[in-house]
Amino acid sequence: MKQRPANRRLRGFTLMETLLAIGLVGILLSIFLTVFVPARSMVRQALTRQEAERISGILRAEMSFLRPDEQASAGTTAASDGQFLSPFDKAFFWMQHSRTPSNAIVIFSYRADTTKSMRADGTYPPVPASRNIPGQGNQLITLACPLNDSLHKDDIKDAVGPVFLVKMTQIVDAGGGKYQLAGQPGSISGATSPDKYVSEDGEKNPWGGVVIYRADFYHMSPPNPARYKGKSWKRLGRPMFSVNMSFRR
């Protein structure tokens, strides 16, 4: 009588079965990538647009009103950098800060310590990043100010999230119905001070008291103002995003 072996060799997959399985996995992976990758790209683009609109909206809002410490004292007849007669004056001087990165406008978020007293401009001092506890006596705010601002330049070290530097370049009439960027960031064609930027009869200024400009937003990394002293815009590379904006008298 024949005895059956105690251990039978198990039959594996044939070469054809293996190739069919690989082909099936490849087809499923192709379908997945066709559906998922474009969807992920669309979400990323939407988030990028949303963030760009939020950041540019903060700049637009900050340049359209005066904080308590920015209002010129009674009897002042001409605005100066830091003391303004109107939001137009503020926007005019802020745009001039764009000539170099070390003086440009910076936009950043930080957690304001609401248990402390308000500062002269109506903002609270930041909670140090080392003890940043969300929801406990603080609130997250986003601020725009000159990088060399004496009141806020030390707040940047406690920033939450990305910090942006803004280069503002005026869009000027190039003739023949065409427009172009001015040669120098921060310069405003037609006037050196806001009170001189007006449209009078006979002037070839199609926009009157409106300044139209392109705002280029650069990621400030590292967010250390001292690292940007003496740097040029060219050394910062390409901006993260750009928005055409304006302010008017």
- pLDDT single digits (tens) 176-194: 888 899 889 999 887 778 8
Which residue in this structure is represented by tokens 């060399």?
Answer: 148
The predicted pLDDT at position 47 comes to: 46
The predicted pLDDT at position 21 comes to: 76
The predicted pLDDT at position 23 comes to: 75
- Mean pLDDT on 145-170: 91
- Mean pLDDT on 5-34: 67
CB atoms within 10 A of CB 239: 18
Selection from 248, 236, 203, 210 nearest residue 98 by Cα: 236
Altogether, the residues listed in the chain come to a count of 249
pLDDT above 90 coverage of the chain, percent: 33
Lowest-confidence pick of 39-48, 72-81, 224-233: 39-48
pLDDT higher than threshold 90 for residue 245: yes
The model's pLDDT over 59-117, given as tens digits with 9 standing for 90+, comes to 999 999 999 999 998 888 888 888 999 999 999 999 999 999 999 999 999 989 888 89
- Mean pLDDT on 15-41: 66
pLDDT higher than threshold 60 for residue 220: yes
What whole-number distance in Å separates Cα of residue 194 and Cα of residue 192? 7
The predicted pLDDT at position 153 comes to: 83
The residues pairing with 62 across neighbouring beta strands, listed in sequence order, are: none
Say if residues 249 and 199 touch (Cβ distance below 8 Å). no
